[in-house]
Structure 1
Amino acid sequence: MVVDLLLQNGVNDARIYTSQDDILQAFVGSGINLTIGIFNTYAISTKEQAKAWVQKNVPYYSSANIRQVYIGNYIFTQALNNTKLIDAGINTLTLVQTALNEAGYGDHIKATLPHTFAIVKDNITRPSEAEFKDKLKDAMNTTLRFLQQNNAPFVVEIFPISYVTENKLDPSFAFPDNKSTHVVTDVNGAVYTNVFEFVYDSFVWALEKAGAPDMKLIVGQVGWPTDGYPGANSSTAERFYKSFLPFVASNKGTPKRPGSPIDSYVHCLTDESKMPDEIPYARHWGIYRTNGEPKFKIDLTGQGRDIFPARAKGIMRMPERWCILNGEKAGDREKVMHEFRTACGYADCTSLAPGGSCSQLSFEDNASYAFNMFFQASFQDENACYFNGLGMVSLDNPSTDECVFPVEVVKGQQNDFGNYSGTRTHHMPSFGAIFLLSLSIAWALVLN
């Protein structure tokens, strides 16, 4: 279903966050180029383990068009507080690429590490000021030399809404449509009117200062959330992609690398309901709703057309019923709050966060929203609507103009992910998401 959707939308490259057999099998013969992931670097710590991993995935390297392998989960960022992770990450990177080379795949399959902006020194005001943080420089130099030896790319991940929020900048600076009041002028007359080009060129400057001025740079994730934060909604996501995708497709490059193509993976196809909820909008990067319908207009070909992407075919929803707070038993607010916290401890309630689509609900409707999210996440098991006698199943849709009380899709095959090659700590796997095939992975689309 997912592969069909990608093909309908003209997507030729995709990133998945696993190397699990049944996921890779779905792409065999599709013609879609894949980037796959190994999150748990400690799972491959010896030459023998690396060879075994390569041998296991050999059937897919040609038939599923695997082109890149991303190692770890922001190892250098995490290593700011745990330096042991760097050694493990570099070791896994070296072992995997060496095993690929020895198996005859090294010319067209490259292993690399994804990075966030946290590895660049703090408080820069212009891209030309950027360089890697001092405590990371030795390890970064080792990594860059290895990537250069293997002609592998440097991968970065850029989230404009996060950057403008953390740096208290004009929100319009997050959009590449040249409407921002925040403008940065740099050396050689370079002018920056948006986060993406600012951050991208910051990495280019940092690579240049580290002795890798010509290294290929890939944006492993870039996107816009649709809920859980002020300014995170479908209309702002549509605005972002409306200007960003044609910019990438134009191959105009950036001030530091004019005329240089930018490969960018759009993050992501579905929401990720198991992300840590400390950052509520982190669960809402998806282009599609749970029923397979797009949330907003987006032209994934980069032509800038005012169109909705293709809908997913064959998705079946659960019956039209919801779990809500029984108003007749809502008098004990402390009891209601206890059940509310219980529901949100398991289900996704981040749409209730300040600025979220459901942040204006009443106390009672807040409880109903939480109860329903738990009920739907339990695939409408009526026992999941008990809540110590406070819940009741309703056939009347409690949604408002702004806040959607969702209905879950029919429960599909639930795979055992005990052998999943690592755990995402920043982008957790999604277990209640839209496509039966993608219940336990997050997706990214790529434009070339």
Structure 2
Amino acid sequence: MGLVKGVALSTRRQRQQPLGLALCCLSILQLLLSSVSGIGVNWGTQTTHPLPPSTVVTMLRDNGFQKVKLFDADSATLNAFANSGIQIMVGIPNDMLYTLANSEQAADNWVAKNVSSHISSGGVDIRYVAVGNEPFLSTYNGSFLGTTLPALQNIHSALKKAGLDTRVKVTVPLNADVYESPTNLPSDGNFRSDIQDLMLSIVKFLSDNGAPFTVNIYPFISLYTTPNFPLGFAFFNNSSSTLTDGGKTYDNVFDANHDTLVWALQKNGYGNLSIVIGEIGWPTDGDMNANLNYAQQFNQGFMNNVIAGKGTPMRPTPVDAYLFSLLDEDAKSIQPGNFERHWGLFYIDGQPKYALSLGTLNSNGLVPARGVTYLSQQWCIMSPSASLDDPQVASSVSYACARADCTSLGYGTSCGDLNAQGNISYAFNSYYQQNNQLESACLFPNNLSVVTSNDPSTGTCKFRIMIQSQTVTSGVEGGRGFSISSFVTFVGVFLSAFL
């Protein structure tokens, strides 16, 4: 192992010799500059009732966000950022990687349409193109291993042809599982053996072109997937669980994870490559550890470090990061877990979930979206005259949850203390609101449901009123959402627990 390290470092020094000290200093300067560019946030749009882009841009500015990371390059969304002063990372979905990898013309066309046109005539401040999103996740079974790097190269080439390569950099947001440590010590970190050659090719390309390594780090996932994971180690300023690695002490898993990447880069000769945290956050519902208190504790702890200019033991300069995420997304897949729809700092209506100081314009907390309009103050609930023994109850709940959002139901969730009638009412109302309070959306069989003007919310469980949206799900029989099969396990547990 020592020999491998020595060879890697020696190779790196040989590459630096022609440019000498100037290149070394330039790399360090780039690293420092990347650390002071302001706090960013991810804006995902997998929601049934999106806020208008202009409303979201105003909300971003009201809260002092200086950067935003998008998952596509929707023209209407980008137009809303014109002259906003907000820096943008546009995204290329994974399903476009094959085309872009195999056609330089396709890459040229994509850049012309989604980058050049908005910069030249729209005053949109695009700084990065994210090529793919976590393309090397194990769940993809290697589908994007052969296309990610060629797509990255072709997009960079297209930017260069357009004269934008010094202004707009390419990167690949990667999951933190692309590197690992056999001992869990950061200093033993390296890239995963099965993709190491590919990772080094990507890292070299990023380094050669002055682009950052972008990684998504989720301490919540460590807690969610690892039995007996120490709860305190998931948060910042923890004193109950620490990790000592040589002369460095880690009191939280984010720092340890981040520095595992730093060591992986350093061992392979790229110790000065800048790192961007593409996603970091904590969900507020859908799991026993996903709640408002933990989310506030985690995000404020992270922001306190950013505000104080505190980095990690291996990189003490401030972290360059995008919080995940701005808004809840009620149409996201729940394959990873029911918490997937609850990562937002704000609910889907733009209302803040908890107090959070970003150290920007509003130190007293988050500022809600302006001018949001709602549907009527009415809810669909289980009829008081209906019976829990009605044979249509189970199928009606399954139908509603498969076509709406029932992820706030279950053990340890915000609505986990509802009784059977309350759970059924929540499912009915979620379906009713998602279908814009259509009369037909509250006509479940055997008169199981009824519309009421009395708010059924109780405790932490909120029966929400849907917002009016320019782009909404329409039609009770179809619309956005997921098939019943994606909810079979969830609904089965729900029914057995509450009916």
Settle same-fold status: TM greater than 0.5: yes
Which of 191, 203, 214 is equivalent to 1:144? 203
SS of structure 2 residue aligned to 1:329: coil
Q: Name the counterpart of 2:281.
A: 223
What is the match of residue 414 of structure 2? 357
| 1:162 positional shift | 1.1
Aligned partner of 1:34 in structure 2 is: 88
Tell me the distance in 1 between the aligned counterparts of 2:111 and 2:452: 51
Q: Name the CA distance, whole Å, in 2 between partners of 1:68 and 1:329.
A: 56
- 2:435 touches 2:473 (CA, 8 Å); kept in 1? no
Contact 2:182 2:189 in 1 (8 A): no
Runs of 4+ in 1 over 6 A off after TM superposition: none
Unmatched runs of 5 consecutive residues or more in structure 2? 1-54, 475-499
Q: Which residue is equivalent to 1:203?
A: 261
Matched, 1:5 2:59: yes
- Cα distance in 2, alignment partners of residues 303 and 254 from structure 1: 26
Q: Is 2:147 aligned against 1:88?
A: yes
Answer whether contact 1:337 1:367 (CA < 8 A) is retained. no
Q: Is the 8 A contact 1:12 1:32 kept in 2?
A: yes
Report whether the alignment pairs 1:240 with 2:294.
no
Superposition deviation, residue 355 in structure 1: 1.1
Percent identity of paired positions between Structure 1 and Structure 2: 34
Q: For the Cα contact (< 8 Å) 2:379–2:453, is it kept in 1?
A: yes
Which secondary structure state, in structure 1, belongs to the residue aligned with residue 164 of structure 2?
coil
Q: Deviations over 1:22-81 (max 9, x none)?
A: 110000111110011001312423100011111112121351100011111211224x76
**1:21: which partner in 2?**
75
8 Å CA contact 2:172, 2:214 repeated in 1: yes
Instruction: Give aligned pairs, total.
Output: 411
State the 1:304 CA deviation.
Answer: 10
Deviation at 1:299, TM superposition (A): 1.3
CA contact (8 A) 1:117 1:157 kept: yes
| CA apart distance, 1:82 | 2.9
Output the CA distance in 1 between the equivalents of 2:388 and 2:333. 32
Cα offsets for 1:192-224 (capped at 9, x unmatched): 111211111111111122332111100001011
TM-score (norm 2): 0.79
**How far did residue 330 of structure 1 move?**
2.4
Alpha-carbon distance between aligned partners in 1 of 2:266 and 2:410, rounded to the nearest angstrom: 41
Q: Deviations over 1:104-153 (max 9, x none)?
A: 10012111111112222365421112111111011111111111111110
Indicate which of 116, 135, 157 corresponds to 1:75.
135
Q: Does 1:408 pair with 2:462?
A: no
Structure 2 CA distance for partners of 1:207 and 1:333, relative to 1, 3 Å:
farther
CA distance in 1, matches of 2:348, 2:108: 38
Rounded Cα–Cα distance in structure 2 between residues aligned with 1:195 and 1:291? 32
Compute the displacement of 1:290 (Å): 3.3
SS in 1 for 2:146: helix
Contact 1:117/1:158 (CA < 8 Å) preserved in 2?
Answer: yes
- Correspondence 1:291 to 2:345: no
| Partner of residue 97, structure 1 | 156
Change (3 A) 1:303 1:176: farther
* Match of residue 253 from structure 1: 311
CA–CA distance in 2 between the matches of 1:351 and 1:248?
A: 31
Give the equivalent residue in structure 2 for 1:110: 169
Are the aligned partners of 1:246 and 1:302 in contact in 2 as well (CA < 8 Å)? Answer: no
Residues 161 and 114 (structure 1), Cα distance of their counterparts in 2 relative to 1, 3 Å cut = same
- Give 2:109's match in structure 1, choosing from 47, 52, 59: 52
Q: Distance in 1 between matches of 2:473 and 2:353?
A: 27
CA shift for structure 1 position 246: 1.9
Cα deviation for residue 186 of structure 1 reads 0.3
**Counterpart residue number, 2:48:** none
1:340 maps to which residue? 397
Tell which structure's C-alpha radius of gyration is larger: 2
Structure 1: gaps of 5 or more residues:
417-448
